[in-house]
Structures are given as structure tokens and as C-alpha cells.
Amino acid sequence: MHKILIIDDDDGVRNSLFYHFEDCGYSVSLAISGEEAVELLENNSFDIIIVDLRLPRLRGDDFIKKVYNKTNNTKFIMFTGSEEYTLCHELKALPRVCNVVYYKPLVNLNLLNQEIESLLK
């Protein structure tokens, strides 16, 4: 069973994604901050991490930069409510970072499913 970590400080978004991906057959863990996610990564590994980019304190893009080299095969998907956000060149250059930024609210969660399936191949 593939493992997904969802990092989002919004309870509604986090729980919605949790139930959706759990229903799809994934093992799902949650974190409300980048700091909490870093702690989870100390004792767990994940196939996919879905990261909200506008997290308090440790922003999502900074979280990815911090943990990228500590995660061997983990793929990262970015999720944000900021329509003006564009992926920086540093993250675009990382092969395990999805080059598509998903914007909230994402009405069709099957788009994320398709992205995950693609990344897991």
C-alpha cells in the first residue's frame, strides 16, 4: 500500500484530502505544519507528500528544500490557494518534485489521483 503524507494548516482541506485518498486505498498521514512533517519523516517514509505552500513558519517550498535529500524516493506535489504562486527554478530542477502546482479549491480530486498514479510509475 502506497503511503501519502498531506501537509496543510487548513483543517477542512487536510481532512477532505485525507478521506479522499483513504477511500482510494492509500495509507494517509497528516501534518498541520512543515515542522510536524519533518518530525514524521524521522521515523516514517512516504511515497508521496502533498505540501501546502503557504504554511506558517516553515513554508512548503522551504520544507521541500529541507527534506528533499533526506527522502530517497519520495515524490512531492505542491498545493496552494495562492493563484499567483509559480514554481521556482530550484524546485523545478528537482526530479522528484511535480512541475504542476495544484490550486485550491480543487473541485476534481481525480486530477490529483492521476498525478499520483503517474508519479508512482
pLDDT of residue 88: 85
Whether the link from the prior residue into 105 is cis, omega within 30° of 0, is: yes
pLDDT of residue 82: 87
In the chain, where are the structural domains located? Answer: 3-120
pLDDT in tens, 20-59: 999 999 999 999 999 999 999 999 999 999 999 999 899 9
Cell representation of residue 63: 520544507
pLDDT of residue 110: 92
CA-to-CA distance for 73 and 79, rounded, in angstroms? Answer: 20
3 neighbors 15 (Cβ within 8 angstroms) = no
Residue 109 has phi, psi (to 5 degrees) of: -70, -15
Residue 62 has phi, psi (to 5 degrees) of: -70, -35
- 3-120: which CATH number, 3.40.50.720, 3.30.530.20, 3.40.50.12500, 3.40.50.2300? 3.40.50.2300
pLDDT in tens, 58-117: 999 999 999 999 998 999 999 998 888 888 899 999 999 999 999 998 889 999 999 999
